[in-house]
Amino acid sequence: MKLAEEIIEKFTNQMDSLNEKNDEPLKSANQGIALCSKTLFQLKNTVENQEFKSLASEIHFFKTIKSIPMSYLIYFTELRTCELQKPKAGFRYQINFLEKELKKINKFFYRNSDFVYYMELGHTYLDHQFFARKNSPDFPVSPLGNYYQFPDFSTSHDLLWSKVKGMNKLIHYIRKTIERIQPEKPKVRENNKNKILEWTAPKTALIELIYALYSVNSINHGGADLRMITSSFEDLFNVKLNQVYKTYSEMKERRGSQTKFLDELSMHLKHKMDKEDH
């Protein structure tokens, strides 16, 4: 569905902009929930008004397209609940609360370990059962909370897959929150950083690489959001990346090639291969 792809592209740009603002968690969560709900409503209307051309296109929609805003909706909903219930004072109480939240998430992954294993290995042989509506009219999977769900707009496992992706985002958020509450934690982490690897090319080039990996869902099968990927690369290469979304917007406005670094990577790799073959 071309329209669905356009809706998701717009949503992704808006979500990147929202993540870039670094507002208060509750404010960001409320804005994120509103954006996700709006996007899911648009996708629902698209599905109601257009038929899927094939089973493969239906699977792609519920497995890949819908899971993007749905996972963010679950993430922001859980984040908001976590922030509202977190103790307001006493870092020990806050740490204990957050560690309990991590245990709950681990239990969720344990209960659904077979499905998570299937998805993490990139299997597809059960996709026609998991991500097609006609094969699961009775919803064999138990409901996962008061999330956005309609029978004609859901399959047996698309909500579960979205929650897996959303919980991966929440784990990252909780870990970052624990680090902020305990100032000594980031210092230890800083001292333990890999001193061997240092990014020496322009930061714009690294952001270009990050967006390329993010765009093809190559990390955690699409479960890692842009902020999570960026943070991991910052730790790996001992670099701080600021205004990532602004840099991406500037990349799109480039004259000539919009992907200079990726083009250069491809060219040098091909040159190396050709040279070694002769």
Cα distance from N-terminal residue to C-terminal residue, the chain = 45
Q: How high is the pLDDT of residue 148?
A: 54
Q: How high is the pLDDT of residue 186?
A: 46
Cα three-residue angle 33-146-122, rounded to 5 degrees: 80
Q: How high is the pLDDT of residue 195?
A: 60
Q: How high is the pLDDT of residue 82?
A: 94
Q: At what angle do helices 203-215 and 226-237 cross, to 10 degrees?
A: 140
The answer to whether 61 touches 33, Cβ cutoff 8 Å, is no
Q: At what angle do helices 113-120 and 158-181 cross, to 10 degrees?
A: 90
DSSP helix/strand/coil, 150: coil
The answer to whether 47 touches 151, Cβ cutoff 8 Å, is no
> pTM of this prediction?
0.72
Q: How high is the pLDDT of residue 40?
A: 94
Structural domain boundaries in the chain: 1-191, 193-278
Q: How high is the pLDDT of residue 90?
A: 83
**Cα separation of 86 and 98, whole Å?**
8
Q: How high is the pLDDT of residue 188?
A: 45
DSSP string, 173-235: HHHHHHHHHSTHHHHHHHHTS-SS----S-HHHHHHHHHHHHHTT-SGGGTS-HHHHHHHHHH
Q: How high is the pLDDT of residue 255?
A: 82
Q: How high is the pLDDT of residue 187?
A: 46
pLDDT, block means (10 residues), the chain with 278 residues: 88 84 83 94 91 92 93 94 90 91 93 90 90 64 52 86 92 89 56 68 89 84 78 84 83 86 89 82
Q: What is the per-residue pLDDT across 219-229, written as a single tens digit (0 to 9) for each? A: 876 767 788 88
